[in-house]
Amino acid sequence: MRRNVRWGVQYASDDEQIEHSLIMSFKELRKNIFSWQNHWHTIDPVLYLQPFLDIIKSDETGAPITGVALSSVYKILNLQILDSETVNVDNALHLIVDAVTSCRFEVTDPASEEVVLMKILQVLLACMKNKASISLNNHHVCSIVNTCFRIVHQASSKSELLQRISRHTMHELVRCIFSHLPDLDDKSHELAHGSKSSPNAEDNVAEPSHTLQDKQDVDAYTSAESDSKKDDSTHVKDSTSTADSSMMDPYGVPCMVEIFHFLCSLLNVMENIEVGPRSNPIAYHEDVPLFALGLINSAIELGGASFGNHPKLLALIQDELFYNLMQFGLSMSPLILSTVCSIVLNLYHHLRTKLKLQLEAFISTVLLRIAESKHGASYQQQEVAMEALIDFCRQPMFVTELYANYDCDISCSNVFEGLANLLSRSAFPVNSPLSAMNTLALDGLIVLLHGMAERVGHDSSGPGEASLELQEFKPFWTLRCHDYDEPLHWVPFVHNMKNLKRMLMTGVDHFNRDPKKGLEFLQGLHLLPDKLDPRSVACIFRYTMGLDKNLIGDFLGGHDEFSVLVLHEFARTFDFQDMNLDTALRIFLETFRLPGESQKIQRVVEAFAESYFEQSSDILVNKDAALLLSYSLILLNTDQHNSQVKKKMSEEDFIRNNRNINGGNDLPRDFLSELYHSISENEIRMVPDQGGASGILTRSHWLGLTHKAKQTSPYIVSDSGSHLDYDMFAILSGPAIAAISVVFDHAEQDYVLQSCIDGYLAIAKLSASYNFGEVLDDLVVSLCKFTTLLHPSFNERSILYFGDDIKAKMATIAVFTIANRYSDHIRSGWRNILDCILSLQKIGLLPARLASDATDELEPPSSDNDQVKTSASHSPPSQVPPATPARKSSGIMSRFSLLLSYDSEEPAPQPSEEQLAARQRTLQAIQNCHIDTIFAESKFLQADSLLQLVRALVMAAGRPLKGNNNSLEDEETAVFCLELLIAITLNNRDRIMLLWQNVYEYIANVVQSTVMPSSLVEKAVFGLLRICQRLLPYKENLTDELLKSLQLVLKLDARVADAYCEQITQEVMHLVKGNAMQIRSHMGWRTIISLLSITARHPEASEAGFETLSYIMSDGAHLSPANYVLCANAARQFAESRVGNVERSVRSLDLMSGSVICLVTWFYQTKEAAGEEAAIKMSEDILEMWMRLVQALRKVCTDHREEVRNHAITLLQRCLTGVDGIRIPTDLWLQCFDLVIFTLLDELPEMSNQLSPKDYRFIEGSMILSIKLMSKVFLQSLRDLSLSNSFCQLWLKVLGCMERYMNMRFRGRRSEKIHELVPELLKNTLLVMKTSGILVPSDPVGGDSFWELTWLHVQKIAPSVQLEVFPGEELEKLQENRAKSGCSPLSEGNVLVPPNETTA
């Protein structure tokens, strides 16, 4: 102050003048300050602040002095001398604010002025940030904000530094004030008085601001927008009271309401600007709205959800703020749009439950439309809108809530569906390469899909359980959920509402084509009652989206009685309580188009006036007044906004036209004036927007929306569960796959490709989780196209490109990742996956043991199977079915070697380093696919998927069979598929019947269509055998089915069978040794024995075949009634076969003979059979088996090899005489003599005639054995035979045979040995018969007697035998005795000698 000219001169003067009070106050402060020894908190701050404040308020000081004073106050505030405990701190702060907001100083130069303005900002901000700021009242806080805002405007003509500091200070102030909001409670006095505080506060704030403006002589409002703002605020405050005590309370909600309203009003300038599809709504500089939007965003960020606790703040957001945000959202400025989107995102995060319809309007009318490039939006705007949508989608439950609150609400549009379609369409590139918009849309799709995929399993639910058809009519527009907070309640509710909405939208389409038929259709769906009532139709018109508003207007204006009733019910659905007439009319006419005919207009307006008067009768005395005034407003609207009307109606004209209409009295002038200005400034649109198609948000439309918001259902807040993801994925999946595929096709950048793959995998996860099998198949088909593996030209050369083709490698890994993770849900997609695998197989890129790795672990640990494995390992490679051909394991090099084998003169080209490196990269990629796991884990596949996989394999393997000229490559493919088929079959032994039909039919097709040996038929045969080996131990109920399949081997072409006979027999041997106990049926054994019998005459296979047969028959280990005859015949074939040595034939005969023990054992078991019939049946079966055995032996008895023949006769005799445990009936003995013994004795002489003289001695021994056999068997069975009526005939045949052998000659010479043997045998037989009482003299009367016939034949054989058996004296004595007794020589009383005595 001393340095200042004014103060310095005064200070230096010698005149005795009283010093200026400003100087005196500082001197007084200096005197006192050092005397205050106590703590500063106890000193009244006014004492040391007042001198500085006097300087600030003084208009005598210049800018530098005022600046120093401000700095001093700022220092005191920053030193935290003042706090809530300081004495009189509230008064001190009030004084500081009053002084600073009314600061006066002389402007000497611009720089010093700016310094003071900056310091004013500093001090005011320091006041708000001080700990004691809580003692400031609402009025002072509003003054602070208003002062700062005026400095912001003044700064526009000042330096850049002041502009930035002032704006920054304004932001800090707003943050500081609204950060206090969460700590406040919504107190009752705020509710009661807050509505009137805002205008008054503005009035109080304005006074010091004007003072500041006048003092500085600086026009802070040079811009048009500032003038309009000031005029607007003045208009508001004139109509309100100036006294409001709440502004004197400690600052809280009232000042925040005022400040927030002030910030929102900065945006109201939009209302006065013409908005069109191609006009720029922000015609002036975008700086003001951007600044205001930034402040609003800061307030919302810090106030957060607390705004919802204070009705007036919430009302500002719901109405004024959101309306302006919608308007600015449609501006041409990308920067403004971006800021608006940030605010709306914050509002969604904090207040979405209170802003249901506002958010719907913003997303559908602003974001979706701009992103779709409608209404002339620039590319930058599209990008901003798309980024904003994606930001919304990144909110955890945004998409679920979007679907639940809008798509499942009959009165809202399908916002989620629109979003999904937009993202899908926008991802499609119009021209290659991709644009930023395409990748943005792709990101949005990926975000949606990832969000759903992450929620899988979190209380997921399937599709809506609500029935698709209503059983009876219910007024669905009144339906409400019992509990919108509990998913158990609201999830079924929204499912039901979505189904209703789908049906309703179908009805809407019908109505828009033909209203009458549309209503009938809705009746058919039970959405309207069978007998139409006016109320229901009115509610359909009122609450249903998508109806043609022209048709609604025509219907409501109809003259028929029903239409009139519907019209009046329709008018009653509106809530006009406490609503201005023009607002009510706007809301009413927003729901339909007013018809053009005057009569229809009259009916409609009458219904409106009646409804309005019933609800709002404060000013109007009757409904006629309401009717006349409504008509007048419609006429005024046409007059003011029709371009064809040249002379517009003035306010006075309007008031004059409405005289005496209120029951003969005039309406209040202010009331009519307000109506006039409302209509003239904001047109009532008689052609309402059809679902927002025009993109222009009118005030009428917004009023309708806010009115609708009061009646809408509560906003549903979803938890982290995937309650509605099934339905959303059903909408999103198809477009998403198409869009991602197109982007993947055009993309070049790695990150875009990776995004696409992430999207594919998310879709796969969702498809599997929600059982969308067709979607998963479509996905697999799409991905397989990008692998390049299915291209017809894919070959070994392609490896060079595949190794470096990032897109192909990523697609390939993705395909097999899906096949591994979600194989349960793949159906037709298996074909494409297999085609990819086959392409890799053709060029040798698959693991060497792809198929066998899947089944080796299934080998049972038993010792028998260990032997099988050991023997198999020493057999040729063709014998091990599942192993991939060796050349596959070594890739390209082996293929070169293969080519060498075709033409040894052609040198094999060696791969270059580049080729080897490319191959290595390719192999690494294929290794990452884990293809082998697909088949190794097939046992865990669901039945449907497994069946489709098997069918795909059969189809892929069956292709070579359809053509005649099959290349080696085609055959290798078929072999590979067959290996996989066998591996899968073995892996799924528990579900063999599911696969068996397909597998068997394919193998049968291969076997029956092959005429020459090949690797395919080899794989088929040995695969079938291996399946049987593996499955027989586990599947007893399928034993017959499996063994029956082996009959295919019997159907092999002779050349094929011959080539593989030895290996087949080895496999059959392993099968029998491992599973003999499981084979029980006759049919099963017949198949096995048939396979063994074939080998009897095969040089290589006979040894294994005989070993197998020996295993079955030795000691009767595995003989049973089911296989006895089969084994006996097979053993006979081995005995007759000359492929092996004589020793094997002898062993075969021993097997046959040894099997009699089993027959005896079984015969004893017949006694234990349940029931007599069962025992008889078992006995008959055993006798039949014995008969078959001896017949088989008899056939070998004529073998040309002496040792075999004689051994067979010996064993035949043993089988005939060694069956003591079996009771053989007489008839069977007779049959045995006829079919076996006599036949043998007949065949041997015939056979001898065919031999050379040197072989005679060999046959002679056999004949001796056979005649002995006959004698012994006859004597063995004599006791039973003698009781038969046919005994005499049999005896004569025996004698006839002896006679024939006695007279037999070989080459003209008789056999001495036989000549000696026959009489001896005859004599022995006659002696036994004599002893047994069978052969006794008889009376010849009545024909030839047994006695006479016997001796008649004996005489021809050996005449001397009779006297040896019956000496003369003994014979006479016998004849006398017989004559006396007259008994028959074969009486039943004769006692025969026991068999053991007759065989001596």
Place of tokens 């989620």: 416
55 contacts 108 by C-beta, under 8 angstroms: no
DSSP letter, residue 1306: E
Three-state DSSP class for residue 795: coil
Q: Up-side HSE of residue 203: CA atoms within 13 Å toward CB?
A: 17
40 contacts 83 by C-beta, under 8 angstroms: no
1112 contacts 1123 by C-beta, under 8 angstroms: yes
Q: Up-side HSE of residue 553: CA atoms within 13 Å toward CB?
A: 23
User: Could you tell me the two tokens for 453?
Assistant: 């995929």
C-alpha 605/C-alpha 626 separation (Å) is 9
User: Could you tell me the two tokens for 545?
Assistant: 């989206």
397 contacts 720 by C-beta, under 8 angstroms: yes
Q: Of 28, 597, 614, 1180, which is the active-site residue?
A: 597
Which residues pair with residue 1335 across a beta bridge?
none
C-alpha 856/C-alpha 858 separation (Å) is 5
**Is 1203 in the active site?**
no
C-alpha 570/C-alpha 549 separation (Å) is 14
- Nearest of 357, 389, 355 to residue 371 by alpha carbon: 389
704 contacts 587 by C-beta, under 8 angstroms: yes
User: Could you tell me the two tokens for 25?
Assistant: 């106050």
Which residues pair with residue 62 across a beta bridge?
106
Alpha carbon 185 to its chain centroid, in Å, reads 48
1322 class by beta-carbon count within 10 Å (0-12 exposed, 13-18 middle, 19+ buried):
buried
461 contacts 722 by C-beta, under 8 angstroms: yes
Cβ within 8 Å of residue 723, ≥6 positions away? 400, 404, 459, 460, 461, 487, 491
- Nearest of 137, 143, 245, 144 to residue 197 by alpha carbon: 245
356 contacts 405 by C-beta, under 8 angstroms: yes
| Helix (H) or strand (E) segment spanning residue 964 | none
Bond before 311 cis per omega within 30 degrees = no
The CA-CA-CA angle for residues 378, 382, 383, to 5°, reads: 120
DSSP letter, residue 463: S
Three-state DSSP class for residue 1169: coil
- Nearest of 990, 929, 987 to residue 953 by alpha carbon: 987
C-alpha 915/C-alpha 923 separation (Å) is 12
Cβ within 8 Å of residue 520, ≥6 positions away? none
- 545 φ, ψ (degrees, to nearest 5): -75, 150
One-letter amino acid for residue 417 of the chain: E
- Nearest of 766, 695, 699 to residue 737 by alpha carbon: 766
User: Could you tell me the two tokens for 628?
Assistant: 């006349």
- Sign of the dihedral defined by the CA atoms of residues 1016, 832, 794, 891, in that order: negative
Helix 1054-1075 vs helix 863-873: crossing angle, to nearest 10: 150
Which alpha helices (H) appear in 1032-1123, and where do they start and end?
1039-1045, 1047-1050, 1054-1075, 1082-1094, 1102-1113
C-alpha 1242/C-alpha 1121 separation (Å) is 32
User: Could you tell me the two tokens for 623?
Assistant: 């409904």
833 contacts 784 by C-beta, under 8 angstroms: yes
Catalytic residue positions, numbered: 597
